[in-house]
Structure 1
Amino acid sequence: MIGTRAARGIVRCCAALAAAACTVPMISPPALAAEHPHRPRVHYTPAENWMNDPNGLVYHDGEYHLYYQHNPEGNAWGNMSWGHAVSPDLVHWEERPLAIPYTEEEHIFSGGVVVDHDNSSGLGTDGEAPMVAVYTSAYTERSEHAGIQAQSLAYSNDGGETWTKYEGNPVLDIGSGEFRDPKVFWYEEGGYWVMAVVVADERVVHFYRSDDLLDWTKLSEFGPAHATGGVWEVPDLFELPVDGGAGGSKWVLVVNLNPGAVAGGSGAQYFVGDFDGVEFTPDRLVTGDDPPEGEVFADFENGYGDWEITNDLDGTGTEGPFGSAPAAGTLPGQQPVDGHRGGHLMNGFVDGDAPRGEAASPAFTIERDYINLLVGGGDNPRSDTGDTSVNLVVDGEVVRTATGRDSEHLDWTAWNVSEYRGRTAHIRVRDDASDGWGHVLLDHIMFSDAPARSGLENYDWLDHGRDYYAAVSYNDAPDDERIMLGWMNNWDYAGDIPTSPWRGAMSLPRRLELATLDGRPQLVQRPVDQLASLRGDIAYSHDALPLDGGERRLPPRAEGEVFELDVELDPETADEIGLTVRQDGTTGTVIGYDARRSRLFVDRERSGDVGFNSAFPSRSSVAVDPGATLELRVVVDTSSVEVFAEGGSRVLTHRIFPGAEATGISLYAEGGRGYARDLSVRPLNPYRDGTAQ
């Protein structure tokens, strides 16, 4: 998947960028893959060192350029510079020399690249259109702009190979330390450039215009809106036809979020609406998340009542973590708390994250099928490193647990407790973690006959899996296609991913469309068509494979590390039906369809190596349309699973780290008989004669 060009590239890089660490290993792609079992085959990774956000995605002179956040000196985040790779087809990549290196005064954060076709900037030479990178300068303490993030330019007159920083940098500075990630595009109707850029900690996107890429005038702002449990980063704004043009067109604003995403940690949300050249106006804003009717058990509006509160478990003499009374919202030193109801909540941030404590509710009898509750704070569920959890205890045993998402936003959790009806229970809150996010938030516990739906699920997300972040689209793609790429990782554990000498991978490039679903335009994503060039012959197929309880393993010819699987899961009478990939005798990644709840899930809790970070083992899910069958397209690489469901309207992306012997595929059904219909498995291989094509 990774190639290199001739030594001319190394000479050019090192001559132009002498200050940078400039190495392009002359190693064939198969050799790179063989060096580590988790080196992706059909996803881009650098040969070595750290990589995160995709930057500067642009198509120019027959090549797709991928710039990206890169540490040229190590396998951890730091020394942020722009790495570089190119591809003729989005599936075969060649790593190029370092593009824009950091300096002691300036680190090179995320941004975009445009081709200045009319040389409006005046930065071109010999009548050629320059490529202009608009990026965030993160100024260090050695700079006269210490602590500031501002927008700067670099330009290239050799097709994006070498870059010169504009001598008038920065070109846009508002004096903020959280002003970053510009995405610039040409607004054809107005005849000017538009920049979308975030003030991250305010959860706001700013829009600016320019005639020449040098001088910028503010147009408007958007936000905060929808998911605000973390900082906003890496915005993108683009126009797409609806239903192939039959429904006109709409604008899409993508805003990445960390933490507070629907699957936990970092993720990407989007808004559909209109852009008039000045303001973005969303078609839909969700402002309420009312739960089903029920009996309120605790809302903390009148003190703790009969709850038993135990503060200061470590005997340090603090009032924390819960204090003597519920908190009136945000506490000193805490990020803004939202999502609670009324004026008070249980907030475990009294005296900060360090104090440890416990709270126990009065006993009650379970008489309804669901307990709905608002939970926020740290995502530390009964782990060895600490515990910030809300637990349902029945007969002395914890039977249900909820945690926050490393966010100060409280969201609904619904416990199905129908099996415990008539039994006595109580709720126990543990705040036993002392590091970052070492606190828990709780409010509005209700007994109901139906589940409350997570407020986050009411918003629109690019991906409901754990590993799709900093998603951004290509400028100037052929045939006006909108192609998007994301960093296949999550900040919850990104620094601990067990790979070396590199760390970081990109998702498959995805082609985006807007389709009318449930009465409104929503994004549909599919792997780019060029992926077909990697397909081998069908290894296994079946028109209608019966699954009558238990597990059915596919024959050895279907097994492999890297493949594409298509299937329609028909549960018929089964409660659950699905498949397990990268399987051996004890481990595997489960892709399941819970027909009773109409939810598609990916469970990687036993997917291989899951012990490098307590946040990694997980199960993520998304609601799908109730129906007889569920159509899936699954792309499996050496260390990832991407699931495209219902024609690409639902996507779940996850990193996995299976053992080398985990190559099996099996299907299963539980609680009845089901079928795997139109099943096919094809190997994917980017290599021919030992080189990337």
Structure 2
Amino acid sequence: MKMKLFFMLLAGLLPVLLHAQDNPVPTPQWRPVYHFTPQKNWMNDPNGLIYLNGVYHLYYQHNPFENKWGHMSWGHATSKDLINWKHLPVAIPEIEGKDTTTWIFSGSAVWDKHNTSGFGKNGKGPVVAIYTGDQPKQKKESQFIAYSNDGGLTYTNYANNPVIDLRKGDFRDPSVIWLEDQQKWLMSVAHPGIQKIEFYSSANLKDWELLSEFDRQGDTRRMWECPSLTPFFVDGDPAKKKWLLMISSSSPGDGVGMQYFTGDFDGRTFTNDNHAATKLFVDYGRTFFAAIPFNHLPGDAKTMLGWLVPFETPTHPWRGQMSIARDLALKTTPEGIRLYQQPAAVLNAYLKKLSAAKTMLKRNITINNNELALSSAKSFNTNTNWIDATFTTGTAQDFGFKIAQQKDGNKVVAETVVGYNMARQELYITQVKDGKVVATLEKMAVKPVNNKIRLQVLFDKSSLEIFVNDGEKVLTTLLFPEKNATGFAAFAAEGDVQLDTLKVWNLDKIL
């Protein structure tokens, strides 16, 4: 999207993006294995996430020509397990006209089962993409649609685009779902600079009526982008229906992030459950952005993907990666209804296929003011570990894991610490060089539950996603370790901790 380039430029990051193209040094040591990356060139927001006939479709913001932002089009990949991806040709390329260029910015895709749009053929409903058409020469963003009758492989743009045109330069990211009770489509779309979400409805995906607005609540430090509004059953109870509104945010001086609201939607208006000043965050790291749920998942599952903003470090021949697929749930807590996230359950089937050599299981280990090596020269040493551990707190001031570790004998040359501090009740990520902490990358407040801390640590070459206490909170960041920094250990400092269970999977090669 245009504003992605805007905030990167103002943050002084544009020269780095250009460097990623001008100095193409291959960086295979940082290409994730079980997180999606394009084969080559730039990628940002996930778009049009949809499940069709047993296949997950991922469209994404893509520059087909260069390893930097520009020429925005919808790239395309498919998967049956959310781990192995088939790369496909560009699904919706930028539109070159006589007097203007239209870039294909972020949006969503739906299966128009009842052919409300009239675009279907042979009695079958089409797949319809709803996206923002950005026209830089006209300094305008408006909402376009395109349709596919070959299962989402190729699209034809609607002849009468745009379908919503307010003649504004900052109006984007439509997210569309089907409201079965009203037999209508619902769109959420953002006015980023004025921090406003608008809701529209349509019977045919072509003609849209403005329903209501939601603005300036929660985190208002940044512009608002990439909204999604999704119904949930709280605690899995059909009698307790709530709606989850997620919004991505960005600003030149304050990075990126995502917040959420829970509330009620009466078919026209979303009403926030909480006070307008309440701030609830989807992820507590600095890199998770533009996440949206898949449409049409079986069993009404709620699963999303997000983009991990690459920031300063150049990679080649690709740039940008997606998060792991995350299952979403709303749960009742003493503080109110809150969002919980877990690595998608469908991924468990993949983990079960891994051989015994790729799987580690340990139980009931006491670690007392030392570290427990978990990698060796031949195993769990490729920076592709998926860790699931439960600790019972003891006397240790700090405990957790050390990853991307490099040692010279007993001397620590480099490592990243994923630790929990008992006094501060805080998860933190620090970088260590030559035995000294040189940077604190991230930190997040979270309390033990019944004296236990569960950490799910997904480290994949350069991405690090940490789910705490069954997904009560999540923190995501990026790491770019040296090629030989691949060690891995559990640790406790200034006391002891009980490692109740430890499961580790090495996903260094895709099955």
* Match for residue 284 of structure 1 among 261, 265, 274: 274
Identity over the aligned pairs, expressed in percent? 39
2: CA distance, partners of 1:482 / 1:626: 25
Contact 1:153–1:165 at 8 Å: present in 2 too?
yes
Structure 2 residue 24 is the aligned partner of structure 1 residue 204: no
**Post-superposition shift, 1:108?**
0.7
For residue 16 of structure 2, what is the aligned residue in structure 1? none
For residue 69 of structure 1, what is the aligned residue in structure 2? 61
SS of 2:347's equivalent? helix
Structure 2 residue 477 is the aligned partner of structure 1 residue 654: yes
* Match for residue 263 of structure 2 among 273, 293, 299: 273
> Within 5 Å, which residues of 2 pair with 1:108-147?
108-141=104-137, 146-147=138-139
**Post-superposition shift, 1:286?**
4.6
Contact 1:75–1:500 at 8 Å: present in 2 too?
yes
For residue 55 of structure 1, what is the aligned residue in structure 2? 47
SS of 2:167's equivalent? coil
1: CA distance, partners of 2:239 / 2:389: 30
For residue 372 of structure 2, what is the aligned residue in structure 1? 552
> Within 5 Å, which residues of 2 pair with 1:341-360?
none
**Post-superposition shift, 1:243?**
0.8
User: Considering only CA atoms, is the larger Rg found in Structure 1 or Structure 2?
Assistant: 1
For residue 157 of structure 1, what is the aligned residue in structure 2? 149
2: CA distance, partners of 1:596 / 1:553: 25
**Post-superposition shift, 1:582?**
2.0
* Match for residue 600 of structure 1 among 416, 427, 430: 427
Question: Structure 1 residues 598 and 627, CA, compared in 2 at 3 Å: closer, same or farther?
Answer: farther
2: CA distance, partners of 1:162 / 1:686: 31
2: CA distance, partners of 1:555 / 1:72: 39
Question: Structure 1 residues 35 and 578, CA, compared in 2 at 3 Å: closer, same or farther?
Answer: closer
Point out where structure 1 has 5 or more consecutive residues left out of the alignment: 1-33, 288-457, 689-693
**Post-superposition shift, 1:570?**
2.8
**Post-superposition shift, 1:619?**
2.4
1: CA distance, partners of 2:132 / 2:237: 35
Matched letter for residue 220 of structure 2: T
Matched letter for residue 244 of structure 1: G
1: CA distance, partners of 2:361 / 2:154: 48
Stretch moving more, 240-249 or 119-128 = 240-249
Per chain length, whose mean CA-contact separation is higher, i.e. which structure has more relative contact order (CA < 8 Å, sep 6+)? 2
What CA deviation, in whole Å up to 9, does each residue of 1:210-243 have, x standing for no partner? 1111011100000111111111000000101111
**Post-superposition shift, 1:552?**
3.2
TM-score w.r.t. the length of structure 1 is 0.65
Matched letter for residue 271 of structure 1: F
Matched letter for residue 133 of structure 1: A
Matched letter for residue 503 of structure 2: S
What CA deviation, in whole Å up to 9, does each residue of 1:294-345 have, x standing for no partner? xxxxxxxxxxxxxxxxxxxxxxxxxxxxxxxxxxxxxxxxxxxxxxxxxxxx
For residue 431 of structure 1, what is the aligned residue in structure 2? none
For residue 460 of structure 1, what is the aligned residue in structure 2? 280
* Match for residue 219 of structure 2 among 220, 227, 247: 227
Question: Structure 1 residues 668 and 260, CA, compared in 2 at 3 Å: closer, same or farther?
Answer: farther
Contact 2:391–2:501 at 8 Å: present in 1 too?
no
For residue 379 of structure 1, what is the aligned residue in structure 2? none
Question: Structure 1 residues 605 and 233, CA, compared in 2 at 3 Å: closer, same or farther?
Answer: farther
For residue 467 of structure 2, what is the aligned residue in structure 1? 644
Structure 2 residue 500 is the aligned partner of structure 1 residue 508: no
For residue 82 of structure 2, what is the aligned residue in structure 1? 90
What CA deviation, in whole Å up to 9, does each residue of 1:356-405 have, x standing for no partner? xxxxxxxxxxxxxxxxxxxxxxxxxxxxxxxxxxxxxxxxxxxxxxxxxx
Point out where structure 2 has 5 or more consecutive residues left out of the alignment: 1-25, 408-412
2: CA distance, partners of 1:464 / 1:74: 31
Contact 2:382–2:508 at 8 Å: present in 1 too?
no
2: CA distance, partners of 1:102 / 1:45: 21
Structure 2 residue 449 is the aligned partner of structure 1 residue 630: no
1: CA distance, partners of 2:430 / 2:285: 10
SS of 1:174's equivalent? strand
2: CA distance, partners of 1:617 / 1:53: 27
Structure 2 residue 403 is the aligned partner of structure 1 residue 581: yes
> Within 5 Å, which residues of 2 pair with 1:112-511?
112-141=108-137, 146-245=138-237, 248-259=240-251, 265-287=255-277, 459-489=279-309, 493=311, 496-511=312-327
For residue 566 of structure 1, what is the aligned residue in structure 2? 388
**Structure with more of its chain in strand, by fraction:** 2
Contact 1:196–1:207 at 8 Å: present in 2 too?
yes
TM-score w.r.t. the length of structure 2 is 0.87
Structure 2 residue 92 is the aligned partner of structure 1 residue 100: yes
